[in-house]
Amino acid sequence: MNSKDYIELDEKYGAHNYHPLPVVISWAEGVRVKDPEGKSYFDFLSAYSAVNQGHRHPRIIKALVDQASVCTLTSRAFHNDKMGQYLQKLCEYTGYEHALPMNTGAEAVETAIKAARRWGVEVKGVDNGNQEIVCVKENFHGRTLAAITMSNDPDSTVNYGPYVPGFVRVPYEDIDAMAAAINANTVAVILEPIQGEAGVCVPYEGYLAAVRALCTKHQVLFICDEVQTGFCRTGKRFAWMHEDARPDIMCLGKALGGGVFPVSAIVADHAVMQVFTPGTHGSTFGGNPLASAVAMAALDVLVDEKLDEHAEAMGQIFRAELAGAVCKNMVKVRGKGLLNAVLFKDGFQAWDVCLALRDAGLLAKQTHGNIIRFAPPLVITEAELREAIAIIKGVLVKY
């Protein structure tokens, strides 16, 4: 079978809920992937930042294989000998008192919403059923009904009603609108510290700290969805750390699984996490020993390879180089660390650029038609980055 055959099978038997770039990946290592024909590409999407540690990092694969050979799943009906060590490591890494393990990013967001709603009743004193959560425009929090209720992207939301009550949406970066939306029933504000799917929208300096202060003032929980921005992607462990903006709850996923396994969690201090009591929330696979072993290795790699500092340094090079790219339709390059995007003029079809990049040996995906996100695995070396930049510049000059 060749790439064309594999794509045909996807089209024939799969639901058509994605529009992938026409490329098939059958091998991957570090920052590079190959198609069945043997052509090699730089991976500049990193599975939407789930592969921060690079494809098949040897330490993570070893943890996976070792754990798979002794015990994989127990359910939370019993204890296992890995989950506690993993949650301790995650709490130490994030600086929170407790962690609640789930599997996907959307589940982490759901868990945060449930925690905030319960906290609103049991701690803040809001009547059950009246809890409100403030979200921001252009957000992406996943694909569950609550997550799409927060979304204003018609593709994500159309004809999925009835939507979930209790959400109020305000413009991103508008602290006055957020303040006006908060009332006595407001239990939380949720946002991405940098909006990834919206096109790597970096807020003005001081916005996150202002949101934090507003939440503190009105006894409202600040929830940061760090599913995409977390784990060193933006040059810090978490993107909120660029400011004095420590959230009450962080939603985590993607790179927590080290690129091999779906692992997610929320972290929070006792005052919030204590709202969960036996039977009030759960997941069959959450905290399973295989996921725990993989996530521990994923965290160790981030720390031992100093991927936060490295992402910061590589990001500086990337943005400086791309800012000097020759390209008629490019408006600007923006981002933090190794979460960056090139913004083209309104109406420009970045899909064509992605196809040209593919042909030149680099995989990236456009978002919102005229924006391309560039987010390689954080383990990329400076030499690899410069090679990739040359490919990108060589393509951009034709547009």
Q: Which is nearer to ligand PLP, 99 or 109 (CB)?
A: 109
What single string gives the DSSP state of each residue in 104-162? SHHHHHHHHHHHHHHHIIIII-PPTT--EEEEETT----SSHHHHHH---HHHHTT-PS
Q: How far is the CB of 81 from ligand PLP (least distance, A)?
A: 26
Q: How far is the CB of 336 from ligand PLP (least distance, A)?
A: 15
Q: Which is nearer to ligand PLP, 192 or 308 (CB)?
A: 192
Q: Which is nearer to ligand PLP, 35 or 248 (CB)?
A: 248
Q: How far is the CB of 79 from ligand PLP (least distance, A)?
A: 26
Residue type, 20: P
Q: Which is nearer to ligand PLP, 225 or 312 (CB)?
A: 225
Q: Which of the residues 42, 44, 82, 140 is marked catalytic? A: 140
What single string gives the DSSP state of each residue in 73-85? ---TTS--TTHHH
Q: How far is the CB of 34 from ligand PLP (least distance, A)?
A: 25
Q: Which is nearer to ligand PLP, 67 or 151 (CB)?
A: 151
* Residues 6+ away with beta carbon under 8 Å from 236: 242, 308, 312, 337
Q: Answer yes or no: 225 catalytic.
A: yes
Q: How far is the CB of 147 from ligand PLP (least distance, A)?
A: 7
Interface contacts to ligand PLP, rule CB under 6 A: 48, 104-106, 109, 140-142, 192, 196, 225, 227-228, 253
Q: Which of the residues 82, 236, 254, 365 is marked catalytic? A: 254
Q: How far is the CB of 32 from ligand PLP (least distance, A)?
A: 23
DSSP β-ladder status, 221-225 and 264-268: unpaired
The residue nearest ligand PLP at its CB is: 105
Q: How far is the CB of 218 from ligand PLP (least distance, A)?
A: 24
The secondary structure of residue 344, as a DSSP letter, is E
Q: Which is nearer to ligand PLP, 265 or 275 (CB)?
A: 265
Q: Which is nearer to ligand PLP, 101 or 142 (CB)?
A: 142
Give the tokens for residue 374.
């560039």
How long a stretch of residues is the chain?
Answer: 399
Q: Which of 396, 395, 340, 387 is nearest to 367 (CA)?
A: 340
* Residues 6+ away with beta carbon under 8 Å from 272: 115, 116, 119, 221, 248, 249
- From CA 6, how far away is CA 10, in angstroms rounded? 6
Give the tokens for residue 356.
């040209």
Specify whether the CB–CB gap between 223 and 251 falls below 8 A.
yes
Q: Which of the residues 225, 248, 300, 308 is marked catalytic? A: 225
Grouping H, G, I as helix, E, B as strand and the rest as coil, residue 203 is coil
Q: CA–CA distance from 166 to each of 24, 188, 248 (Å)?
A: 41, 11, 19
Q: Answer yes or no: 254 catalytic.
A: yes
- From CA 302, how far away is CA 155, in angstroms rounded? 34
Q: Answer yes or no: 231 catalytic.
A: no
Residues designated catalytic: 140, 225, 254
